[in-house]
Amino acid sequence: MKSENYIKLEFPSRSVNESFARSAAAAFAAQLDPTLEEVGDIKTAVSEAVTNTIVHGYPDSIGKVTLRARIMGGGRIEIVVKDWGRGIEDVSKAREPLFTTGGEERSGMGFTIMESFMDKLHVRSSPGHGTTVTMVKAIKPKKLGR
């Protein structure tokens, strides 16, 4: 699939980078002229994906996280968050609402929120090797006011 524009960021899995990552994704998405609600959806989904790399990918260490985003045809944005951490044993279990291994500080709603705020969510994980979360959202074209 041809991409029209892209960014790639790499950062360590420190929680202070959660807000940086979602703001960067939102700033990149701005070229599609999204509504405030669409920007909020992208920020939220990126925040969930990046938090997962920190809490679940690298629970006892600091590791590498990458955030890639690209503009595709038809006003769509694809966002890929990748870690090389612990991985997920059972992806379909992890995607169930309220399921968490993160204790009472986590709600188990991360994947549910990514799913409902983005149009597509794909999770690929290999235990011991890491997790890749790919999300796509179509930004609705705005009517030109005259």
Partner 1 sequence: MKIIEKYSSGRLVLRMSGELDHHDARAAMRTIDGLIDEYLPRDAVLDMSGLTFMDSSGIALILKVERRMREIGGRAFIENPAKQPLRVIDASGIDRMIPIREEHA
Catalytic positions, written as ranges: 48, 52, 106
CB 24 within 8 A of CB 7: yes
Helix residue ranges per DSSP H, 53-146: 91-94, 110-117
Look up residue 48 and give its two tokens.
Answer: 């969930």
- The residue from 3, 11, 40, 72 that contacts partner 1 (CB under 8 A) is 40
The stretch among 49-57, 67-75, 119-127, 130-138 that binds partner 1 (CB under 8 A) is 49-57
> Which one, 1 or 16, has the nearer CB to partner 1?
16
**Near partner 1 by CB under 8 A: residue from 107, 119, 122, 141:** 107
Work out the burial of residue 32: count CB atoms within 10 Å of its CB; fewer than 13 is exposed, 13-18 middle, 19 or more buried. Answer: buried
Do residues 66 and 10 touch, judged by C-beta distance below 8 A? yes
105 interacts with partner 1 by CB under 8 A? yes
Window contacting partner 1 (CB under 8 A); options: 64-72, 74-82, 101-109, 134-142: 101-109
